[in-house]
């Protein structure tokens, strides 16, 4: 592990396609919320693989379960019944109060399925050109349909023509939703993130979610809540919309559901559960035994170890520590989010912080140009949260001083 000669990480890979702005570091292994690079340097991981590594790294309960599964079956085919699909679906139904689940492998795939459900919902009731309400600053993925639903021009640039059939509105503004859809008989669904992730950690107000739920009921629209990033216990409830006491009709999941094993799911309530029939949708890898076992075990361990409660207490602790540290600091706009999904918005672009934090042994991300995002593993401790603040705060103050 401790190579005498440092391994130089190339700025650009000669063979991997150049689609990411990467830091010049490569990780070799991890333990809990800590990871080490190929040269043995340690980092505190406040990014969690972008809200994916629910149980941190090398979890003592998850690893043996996955090893057991790998030795039995990794993949079969949806030509056959896969009992672990039933097990995970039953659990997701119990936690969500919804009724049926389709499994896939990624977030965009889950959202793609949601978009298809909404369109077929429309066609089934005689709407030939169904339209879906989507949001400014939304992020739903990078397939052609999901990037069309996304509200970030940078994600869309160069990939037109976009998929049609989306109506865009601002967040937390019920009057805009009403006026943008007034007299439009083609609307079939409202599609939103309970807390926008890539868009800058922007929570939907609970009252707004309740108003949208009511409007969807009145108009016979599907309420589709993308919980790919904010779901799976991250905010302290299984799903972030549950803080508003509502239920969606369609709920795409992915990221944290398998603690790092690729997995996606679309959970549907009674209004959407029977729209698809055999032949309407499918996925080769979707629901394979390894991914399903990862989902089942992730949820089991979260329950056993009280990780929803941990997300609340450590999240509140982290938020309070950040607020304390940055109190009255000119250049700090807002600290937002819930549980272990937190954003610190500065008044200036702060992308440099990602590299500077890594130099100091902390992994974070910056999204929407000026929002520091923390979405660590749900096993993070208060002491680790304090450590995050201890590294981050001086870097933020220094950057704000430079840019003042």
Ligand X SMILES: *Cc1c(COP(=O)(O)O)cnc(C)c1O
Active site positions, annotated: 139, 226, 255
139 scored as a contact of ligand X (CB under 6 A) = yes
Answer whether 162's CB lies under 8 Å from 156's CB: yes
Among 181, 202, 229, 288, binds ligand X (CB under 6 A): 229
Size of the site for ligand X (CB under 6 A): 15
Q: What is the DSSP pairing of strand 264-268 with strand 371-374?
A: unpaired
Which of the ranges 54-62, 106-114, 115-123, 301-309 carries the binding residues for ligand X, by CB under 6 A?
A: 106-114
Among 56, 165, 197, 260, binds ligand X (CB under 6 A): 197
Query: Least distance in Å: CB of 148 to ligand X?
Result: 13
Question: What are the angstrom distances between the C-alpha of 177 and each of 145, 168, 205, 209?
Answer: 21, 9, 14, 12
226 scored as a contact of ligand X (CB under 6 A) = yes
Torsion of the alpha carbons at 30, 35, 40 and 43, rounded to the nearest 10:
-160
Closer CB to ligand X, 134 or 301, in the complex: 134
Residues of span 299-328 touching ligand X by CB under 6 A: none
Give 222's DSSP letter. E
CA distance 372 to 354: 9
Which of the ranges 226-234, 302-310, 334-342, 351-359 carries the binding residues for ligand X, by CB under 6 A?
A: 226-234
Torsion sign (Cα): 270, 274, 280, 286: positive
Q: What is the DSSP pairing of strand 42-45 with strand 100-104?
A: unpaired
Backbone dihedral angles phi then psi of residue 289, each to the nearest 5 degrees: -55, -40
Answer whether 348's CB lies under 8 Å from 400's CB: yes
203 scored as a contact of ligand X (CB under 6 A) = no
Closer CB to ligand X, 32 or 252, in the complex: 252
Query: Least distance in Å: CB of 98 to ligand X?
Result: 18
Give 241's DSSP letter. G
363, β-bridge pairs: 45
Of all residues in the shown chain, the one whose CB is closest to ligand X is 107
141 scored as a contact of ligand X (CB under 6 A) = yes
106 scored as a contact of ligand X (CB under 6 A) = yes
Query: Least distance in Å: CB of 209 to ligand X?
Result: 15
228 scored as a contact of ligand X (CB under 6 A) = yes
Query: DSSP 3-state assignment of 135?
Result: strand
108 scored as a contact of ligand X (CB under 6 A) = yes
CA distance 152 to 60: 39
Torsion of the alpha carbons at 227, 82, 286 and 373, rounded to the nearest 10:
30
Backbone dihedral angles phi then psi of residue 194, each to the nearest 5 degrees: -65, -40
193 scored as a contact of ligand X (CB under 6 A) = yes
Query: Least distance in Å: CB of 203 to ligand X?
Result: 13
CB count, 10 Å around CB of 334?
14
Among 96, 111, 148, 377, binds ligand X (CB under 6 A): 111
281 scored as a contact of ligand X (CB under 6 A) = no
Which of the ranges 70-78, 156-164, 221-229, 354-362 carries the binding residues for ligand X, by CB under 6 A?
A: 221-229
Site residues (vs ligand X, CB under 6 A): 106-108, 111, 139-141, 193, 197-198, 226, 228-229, 254-255
């Amino acid at each position: 592990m401790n190579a005498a000669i440092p391994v130089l990480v190339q700025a650009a890979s000669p063979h991997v396609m150049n689609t990411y702005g990467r830091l010049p570091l490569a990780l070799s292994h991890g333990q809990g919320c800590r990871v080490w690079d190929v040269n043995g340097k340690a980092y505190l991981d406040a990014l969690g693989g972008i809200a994916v590594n629910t149980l941190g790294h090398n979890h003592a309960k998850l690893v043996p379960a996955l090893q057991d599964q790998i030795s039995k079956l990794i993949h079969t085919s949806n030509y056959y019944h896969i009992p672990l699909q039933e097990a995970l679906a039953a659990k997701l139904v119990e936690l969500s109060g919804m009724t049926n689940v389709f499994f896939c492998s990624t977030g965009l795939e889950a959202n793609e399925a949601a978009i298809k459900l909404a369109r077929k919902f429309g066609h089934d009731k005689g709407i030939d050109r169904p339209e879906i309400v989507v949001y400014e600053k939304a992020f739903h993925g990078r397939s052609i349909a999901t990037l069309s639903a996304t509200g970030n021009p940078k994600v869309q640039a160069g990939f037109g023509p976009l998929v049609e059939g989306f109506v865009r509105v601002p967040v937390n503004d019920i009057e805009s939703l009403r006026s943008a859809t007034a007299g439009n008989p083609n609307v079939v669904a409202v599609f939103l993130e309970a807390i926008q992730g890539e868009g800058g950690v922007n929570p939907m107000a609970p009252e707004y979610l309740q108003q949208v739920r009511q409007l969807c009921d009145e108009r016979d629209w599907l309420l589709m809540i993308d919980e790919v990033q904010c779901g799976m216990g991250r905010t302290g409830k299984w799903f972030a919309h549950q803080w508003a006491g509502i239920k969606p009709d369609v709920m795409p999941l992915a990221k944290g559901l398998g603690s790092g094993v690729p997995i996606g799911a679309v959970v549907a309530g009674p209004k959407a559960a029977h729209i698809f029939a055999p032949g309407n949708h499918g996925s080769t890898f979707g629901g394979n035994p390894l991914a399903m076992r990862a989902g089942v075990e992730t949820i089991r361990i979260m329950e056993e170890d009280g990780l929803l409660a941990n997300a609340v207490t450590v999240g509140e602790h982290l938020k309070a520590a950040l607020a304390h540290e940055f109190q009255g600091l000119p250049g700090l706009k807002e600290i937002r989010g819930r549980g272990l999904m937190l954003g610190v918005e500065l008044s200036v672009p702060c992308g440099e912080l990602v590299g500077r934090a890594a130099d100091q042994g902390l992994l974070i991300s910056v999204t929407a140009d000026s929002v520091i995002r923390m979405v660590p593993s749900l096993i993070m401790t208060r002491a680790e949260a304090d450590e995050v603040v201890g590294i981050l705060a001086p870097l933020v103050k220094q950057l704000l001083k430079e840019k003042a």
